[in-house]
Amino acid sequence: MIPTHPFGRTGHVSTRTLFGAAAFSRVTQEEADRTMELLLQYGVNHIDTAASYGDSELRLGPWMERMRDRFFLATKTGERTYQGARDQIRRSLERLRVDHVDLIQLHNLAEPDEWEIAMGPDGALRAAIEAREEGLVRFIGVTGHGLGIARMHLRSLERFDFDSVLLPYNYVLMQNPRYAADFEELVALCQQRNVAVQTIKSITRAPWGDRPHTAATWYEPFQEQPDIDRAVHWVLGRPGIFLNTVGDIHVLPKVLDAASRFEKRPSDAEMAAAVLEKKMEPLFV
């Protein structure tokens, strides 16, 4: 089974590998059902989706209607204004067929101008706080992409006491000195405040470039089991953080398999050799 860890201050003990339900953006209900059965086999008890993930919330709905108590359920709003976020949060509840979610996250809050709106007096944060007061959500988080997102999350935590953050984390990315420094500063603050740290893009090999897309992800993921093992084990080798799975239901079983067999983190020498052998490239430049 996959190891577990307290999800920050929420009181929930989550599997350290969370199901990234972006994988349900463009799948049939039958495909989603088979994937959910697989998650249950591995004991995954935490689902992370978003309003913008295509049909994801709709595919999860039949399962949440029947098994709501089985999962810590998180979704996201990409709206920046109070009214837009307020409406989207309620629409997500309808699509998910639930009366509340455990975590609402401000989605990809990375750009300064959008940050000012969302965190302002008539912004999305106000809608999230209101939803929490009404019992529609229990906790509030913030997510994002890009080389500046760790620094932006630090800014967000200065403004509001978020319960979780989500951002990219993999070996190649952490070779960027500026990103690594910001990431370490963010994690230190999160540990101090007991804020959950979720990571994404664990099995990234490189941007697609001109190569044909052979997976449903917007980056090229590793697809061979030994490569996935190494990348997943490197992330899980850092205590206390969570790994959000890949956005492709066909690659997902290999990620879950790797997570279930985690014992130790690959060495820096192993990772450096893999960068050269597998022609790994940074996703964000």
Which runs of E-coded beta strand occur in 16-160?
17-20, 46-48, 72-77, 101-106, 137-143
Count CB-CB contacts under 10 A for residue 83.
Answer: 12
Q: What is the pLDDT of residue 1?
A: 81
Where exactly are the structural domains of the chain? 4-277
Task: Give the separation between CA 182 and CA 162, rounded to whole angstroms.
Answer: 18
Q: What tokens appear for 250 in the block?
A: 């066909």
Could you tell me if 167 and 183 are in contact, meaning their C-beta atoms sit under 8 angstroms apart?
yes
- Give Dmax (Cα) for the chain: 53
The separation between CA 73 and the C-alpha centre of its own chain, rounded to angstroms, equals 12
What are the pLDDT digits (tens) for 30-82? 999 999 999 999 999 999 999 999 999 999 999 999 999 999 999 999 999 99
Average pLDDT over residues 234-240: 98
**Helix or strand holding residue 160 (H, E):** none
Binned at pLDDT 50, 70 and 90, residue 285 comes out as confident
What are the pLDDT digits (tens) for 138-148? 999 999 999 99
Could you tell me if 48 and 242 are in contact, meaning their C-beta atoms sit under 8 angstroms apart?
no
**Mean pLDDT of the residues in the chain:** 97
Binned at pLDDT 50, 70 and 90, residue 209 comes out as very high
SS3 (DSSP) at 69:
helix
Rounded to two decimals, the pTM is: 0.97
Pick the CATH number of 4-277 from 3.20.20.100, 3.40.250.10, 3.30.230.70, 3.40.50.1100: 3.20.20.100
Task: Give the separation between CA 154 and CA 160, rounded to whole angstroms.
Answer: 10
Count CB-CB contacts under 10 A for residue 152.
Answer: 21
Q: Is the pLDDT of residue 180 over 90?
A: yes
